[in-house]
């Protein structure tokens, strides 16, 4: 047995040597014709058999197909409920009560859309909401970037305490602050933690104007909250930006400073542009959360205020009392809310990719 093994071992070693040479030769040959990536694979010192070669080639073709199939499956899971909602919006009343109709309407109609658009003054609502969301999104984006940078790159007294507050705003259940928040903006007053009013009974705003400012039913509560980083999930965005700037090397800002830039100049022209892709993400998230928001809209706006969250209610009011008719209207409203948002996202997403190409020096 041992003898046999020895006999086999010798030619195998020779063969491998030959193979190595063959690879080197073929490598020289490949380099001329194929792209660089392929060459890198050929550098692999492992012996590459023909089978492995074909497998590598097959992987190049198969892998994208597997990926696309997987993504299509996931997309189906995401889109199916929306598709179901969409299909019902074209149904007339006859279709809804017809048990043979499941997804495709027999007498498709656009009447639902016409009705909801009319009753909810949709176009005015659309413009108001776009403006409101844009302002909130832009404020959130810049403020969270600024504050996140402050937390990441500066050491000062109370940093831990203020960062704890940022985390607190993330983990506090929003419903907890609902009532105090409403009271704050219903009787808005400039006060330090509400202590001055509590101890002395003075109210600065009341002294000047005679009455506390009533901010409900205006967009000011939302603007003030997002301008100070306390908007919807503002803490999350600050945290996100801080993590991002933590990953940026200190040497970048130090070099800029040694070259004569002030702290603010360093931020504005070196660090701020680096975070563009993340800022676009933050903008898109806060824009779309404001778009579909019911928490603040319910708190600060009356039913007649033209924001998207109220479209749904107005649509539901249109329907007769029965359940299915209500859901047809709900679904129509949902589509009217969702579709403009998706269109805006597709544009915004291109911005996200653009940001990366322009800021070349990450890492």
Partner 1 sequence: MSDIQKVQETLNTEGQLSAESSVAVAVEELPLNKKRRVNEYERQKTVYGYFFLIPLLVGFVFIYGEILVNAIMFSLSKFDFTGTQYQLVWPWEEGGNASLWHNYHYIFFVQDGLIKDLGTSIGNMLLDIPVVIIFSLFIATIISGKVPGRTFFRAIFFIPAVLITGVIAESQLNNALLNDMNTMGGISTGGIASTSIFSLEDMEEILGDIVFSSSIFGFLQNLVENIFDVVNKCGVQILIFISALLGINPSIYESAKIEGANGWDCYWKITVPMLVPMIYVNIIYTIVDSLCATDNVVMQLMDSFRSSADYDLASATAVTYFIIIGLIIGLISLVMRRFMSKD
Q: Which is nearer to partner 1, 13 or 27 (CB)?
A: 27
**Which of 18, 64 has the CB closer to partner 1?**
64
Which of 16, 27, 57, 67: binder of partner 1 (CB under 8 A)?
67
Which residues have CB under 8 Å from 302's CB, separation 6+?
216, 217
Residues 81-120 that bind partner 1 (CB under 8 A): 81-82, 84-85, 88, 96, 102-103
291 binds partner 1 (CB under 8 A): yes
Check binding of 177 to partner 1 (CB under 8 A). yes
Q: State which of positions 2-61 bind partner 1 (CB under 8 A).
A: 37, 40-41, 43-44
* Site for partner 1 contains 271 (CB under 8 A): no
| Residue among 267, 286, 301, 318 that touches partner 1 (CB under 8 A) | 267
The least CB distance from residue 270 to partner 1, in Å, is 14
Site for partner 1 in 121-150 (CB under 8 A): 143, 146-147, 149-150
- Shortest CB 20 distance to partner 1, Å: 16
Minimum separation from the CB atom of position 9 to partner 1 (A): 29
> Between 81 and 210, whose beta carbon lies closer to partner 1?
81
Is residue 269 a contact point for partner 1 (CB under 8 A)?
no
Which residue lies nearer to partner 1 by CB, 15 or 71?
A: 71
By the rule CB under 8 A, 193 interacts with partner 1: yes
Q: Binding pattern to partner 1, positions 300-319, x when CB under 8 A?
A: --------xx-xx-------
- Judged by CB under 8 A, the number of residues near partner 1 is 121
CB of 5 to partner 1, least distance (A): 33
């Amino acid at each position: 047995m041992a003898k046999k093994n020895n006999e086999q071992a010798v030619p195998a070693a020779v063969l491998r040597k030959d193979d190595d040479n063959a690879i080197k030769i073929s490598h020289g040959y490949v380099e001329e014709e194929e792209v660089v990536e392929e060459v890198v694979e050929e550098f692999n010192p492992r012996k590459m058999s023909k089978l492995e070669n074909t497998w590598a080639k097959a992987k190049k073709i198969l892998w994208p197909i597997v990926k696309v199939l997987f993504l299509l499956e996931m997309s189906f899971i995401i889109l199916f409920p929306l598709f179901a909602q969409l299909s019902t919006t074209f149904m007339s009343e006859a279709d809804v009560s017809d048990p043979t109709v499941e997804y495709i309407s027999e007498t498709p109609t656009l009447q639902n859309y016409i009705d909801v658009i009319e009753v909810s003054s949709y176009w005015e609502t659309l413009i108001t909401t776009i403006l409101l969301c844009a302002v909130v999104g832009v404020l959130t984006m810049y403020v969270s970037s600024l504050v996140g940078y402050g937390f990441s790159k500066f050491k000062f007294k109370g940093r831990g305490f203020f960062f704890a507050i940022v985390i607190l705003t993330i983990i506090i259940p929003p419903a907890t602050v609902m009532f105090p928040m409403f009271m704050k903006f219903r009787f808005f007053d400039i006060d330090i933690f509400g202590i001055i009013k509590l101890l002395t009974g003075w109210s600065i705003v009341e002294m000047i104007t005679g009455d506390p400012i009533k901010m409900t039913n205006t967009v000011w509560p939302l603007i003030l909250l997002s301008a100070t980083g306390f908007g919807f999930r503002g803490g999350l965005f600050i945290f996100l930006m801080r993590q991002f700037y933590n990953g940026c090397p200190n040497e970048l800002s130090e070099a800029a400073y040694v070259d004569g830039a002030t702290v603010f100049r360093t931020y504005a022209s070196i660090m701020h542009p680096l975070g563009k892709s993340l800022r676009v993400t933050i903008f898109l998230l806060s824009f779309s959360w404001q778009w579909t928001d019911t928490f603040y809209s319910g708190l600060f706006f009356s039913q007649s205020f033209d924001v998207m969250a109220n479209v749904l209610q107005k649509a539901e009011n249109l329907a007769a009392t029965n359940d299915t008719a209500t859901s047809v209207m709900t679904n129509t409203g949902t589509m009217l809310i969702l579709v403009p948002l998706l269109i805006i996202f597709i544009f915004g997403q291109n911005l996200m990719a653009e940001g990366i190409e322009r800021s070349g020096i990450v890492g």
